Amino acid sequence: MGSFDVRLDHDLRVVRVMATGELVRAAGERLITEARMTAAEAGYDILCDARDVAPNVSLAAWFHLPRELEVLKDPKTARLKAAVLIPRGPLVEDYRFYEAVAANVGLQIRMFFDEEDALQWLGRT
């Protein structure tokens, strides 16, 4: 199983999440919950670096996650913007699928290859 670190970046006013290794659904749920709770407390949005992650999550799980995870149902944490840095490669379509599924339930989540683009979308440049 992989690992993740959640920390505040006061200069950019974002919660930075660094994730590495294999990511299974339970770890992904913990990552999302911790990041969103931390961001809501600070009044920041989220920048998640998942470029070194190997997700081990089914498409069905990607579909159900935004509908089932409690932190994504709470208006205080669901309203936050989350920019996710992803690697180019065979999983891009899976990430884009999750982006679309999340948008369908009103979440503001976007996938990016470049940190500068992500920060611009978050309004931090």
Task: Say whether pLDDT at 23 is over 90.
Answer: no
Residues 6+ apart with CB under 8 A from 105: 66, 67, 72
Task: Say whether pLDDT at 124 is over 90.
Answer: no
How high does pLDDT run on average in the chain? 94
pLDDT class for 57, splitting at 50, 70, 90? confident
Task: Delimit the domains of the chain by residue range.
Answer: 3-121
Q: Are 3 and 19 in contact (CB under 8 A)?
A: yes
Task: Say whether pLDDT at 45 is over 60.
Answer: yes
pTM score of the predicted model: 0.93
CATH class as words, domain 3-121: alpha beta
d(Cα 65, Cα 71) in Å, to the nearest integer?
10
How remote is the C-alpha of 78 from its chain's centroid? 12
Helices (H) and strands (E) counted in the chain, each on its own, are 5, 5
Q: Are 53 and 46 in contact (CB under 8 A)?
A: no
d(Cα 45, Cα 35) in Å, to the nearest integer?
9
